[in-house]
Chain A
């Protein structure tokens, strides 16, 4: 299953820090008018796991999420569902989702915000990869009988 570009940027926006989104959206804030289709609301998703990791699904427990939907420039709709209960994060993610669907905004955002988010994600992954490789056991066998 390959992801569409929109699925990819929605993932980056959902995982992003709010401070980065605020900074990334700031240059467009004045130019963009929007209306709420669904105002930010906090609720839950029932997260499912699978028995034995690949078998039948079961309900593992819920997760707090916040979702919202905006309409930008009369015809473009932006959607966001993010983890946690930060309404501002959801608002910015939905607005940026809408902007990224418009080619002129997309080009500007790709060079600024999305590049920042990408490098942050790479940094996070590098730190984690280092932690993993540092604590991975290397077994060795002692040569005996000498």
Chain B
């Protein structure tokens, strides 16, 4: 017998009030502002924008505050926000070859044209917690110059106004020029992209949907599965970092009212090209294949993981084998979205009183059946 139950309204209201209080914390401590979050927790904002799949610094900063710093919850808030907005159209594809790179490194060639630009990164920090964060001075203004290597006239020239470096040549073009890259050159690039938010994910999945799913996927899941590849669950050879770039690209759009394209704004992106040795069995030639990663904001860990997975999931198409999770497109792409996964896992908190009652009835009636249970538990 099912009896409808009502109640808990007061407790729910009080819970909402309590979580607001806990979020605020000690009222003797100053409240943090959106500007502080956007400026001083920038990488967190980047992550929420990427997984929320909406480039909006203000919305992401508000979501982080409202979610009390719970990034997955903040991503959920951003996703919910984007459903309230009308879509005006598709941008012209961003030109990452014209990116103003603030960071650009390659793990395969030392002397890349345009140089290795270290930019802002934690890679070269000591990773020691500063003993007293209150007393950490603001970053020093004096910048180090490589006096060991720079000739005197260049050191003097450091005060001069430098202009932005021009377009950086792509590192993989070096491999391509030597004919070491396997690429499908049979057709020119198309201009229509499928969109995951407008159509369900059906397998086999095209590369553009795969890249979209990975770009908005959960960083932890993507990192973990990419790591599994490296540990031997799907990758035989050592992958190499062809090029990793962080920088700004212009977003352009052609409004139908105008009929010509206009610049709408800039966005920070991280782009990664991973290189894998992959010999061409048909041509009996040794060569390389690449994987591609592109993510909102500065998130090198995710862009690198994405490029590893892009490669491994493409390989699946050719071999037809799914020996490892990180080579199975359905396993990766159906489970990488953290709004979906956290929703499904956390729905277990909802009342399952009736479902569970059926389990109880089953167990209690079992001795009467005498038949051993071979079917569903």
Inter-chain contact B116/A62, CB cutoff 8 Å: no
Inter-chain contact A128/B100, CB cutoff 8 Å: yes
List, in ascending order, chain B residues with CB within 8 A of A10's CB: 262-263
List, in ascending order, chain B residues with CB within 8 A of A49's CB: 93-94, 96, 211, 215, 269, 294
- The interface on chain A, measured as residues whose beta carbon lies within 8 A of the other chain's beta carbons, has a size of 55
Min Cβ gap B325→A in Å is: 23
Does residue A76 face the partner (Cβ distance < 8 Å to B)?
A: no
Inter-chain contact B189/A15, CB cutoff 8 Å: no
Inter-chain contact A67/B88, CB cutoff 8 Å: yes
Identify which of residues 121-141 in chain A touch chain B, using a CB-to-CB cut-off of 8 Å: 125-126, 128-140
Does residue A24 face the partner (Cβ distance < 8 Å to B)?
A: no
Inter-chain contact B267/A63, CB cutoff 8 Å: yes
A108 to B150, CA, bound (A): 46
Q: 0/1 per residue, A46-77, Cβ < 8 Å to B?
A: 11111111111111111111010100000000
Inter-chain contact B150/A64, CB cutoff 8 Å: no
Inter-chain contact B263/A48, CB cutoff 8 Å: no
Min Cβ gap A21→B in Å is: 15
List, in ascending order, chain A residues with CB within 8 A of B54's CB: 44, 61-64
List, in ascending order, chain B residues with CB within 8 A of A138's CB: 115, 146, 149-150
Inter-chain contact B111/A51, CB cutoff 8 Å: no
Residues of B in contact with A, size category: 35 or more
Q: 0/1 per residue, B201-221, Cβ < 8 Å to A?
A: 000000111011001100000
A63 to B94, CA, bound (A): 12
A59 to B86, CA, bound (A): 16
Does residue A14 face the partner (Cβ distance < 8 Å to B)?
A: yes
Inter-chain contact B265/A82, CB cutoff 8 Å: yes
List, in ascending order, chain B residues with CB within 8 A of A65's CB: 88, 253, 264-265
Q: Which residue of B lies closest to A81 (CB)?
A: B264
Picked from B85, B251, B262, the residue with its CB within 8 Å of the CB of A43 is B85
Q: 0/1 per residue, B93-108, Cβ < 8 Å to A?
A: 1111100111100000
List, in ascending order, chain B residues with CB within 8 A of A130's CB: 143, 162
Does residue B110 face the partner (Cβ distance < 8 Å to A)?
A: yes
Does residue A33 face the partner (Cβ distance < 8 Å to B)?
A: no
Identify which of residues 186-210 in chain B touch chain A, using a CB-to-CB cut-off of 8 Å: 189-197, 207-209
Stretch of B27-35, B55-63, B228-236, B363-371 that contacts chain A: B55-63
Identify which of residues 78-124 in chain B touch chain A, using a CB-to-CB cut-off of 8 Å: 82, 85-97, 100-103, 110-111, 115-120
A14 to B253, CA, bound (A): 12
Q: Which residue of A lies closest to B98 (CB)?
A: A53
Inter-chain contact A41/B86, CB cutoff 8 Å: yes
Does residue B50 face the partner (Cβ distance < 8 Å to A)?
A: yes
Inter-chain contact B115/A59, CB cutoff 8 Å: no
Interfacial residues, chain A to chain B (CB-CB below 8 A): 4, 7, 10-11, 14-15, 38, 41-65, 67, 69, 79, 81-85, 125-126, 128-140
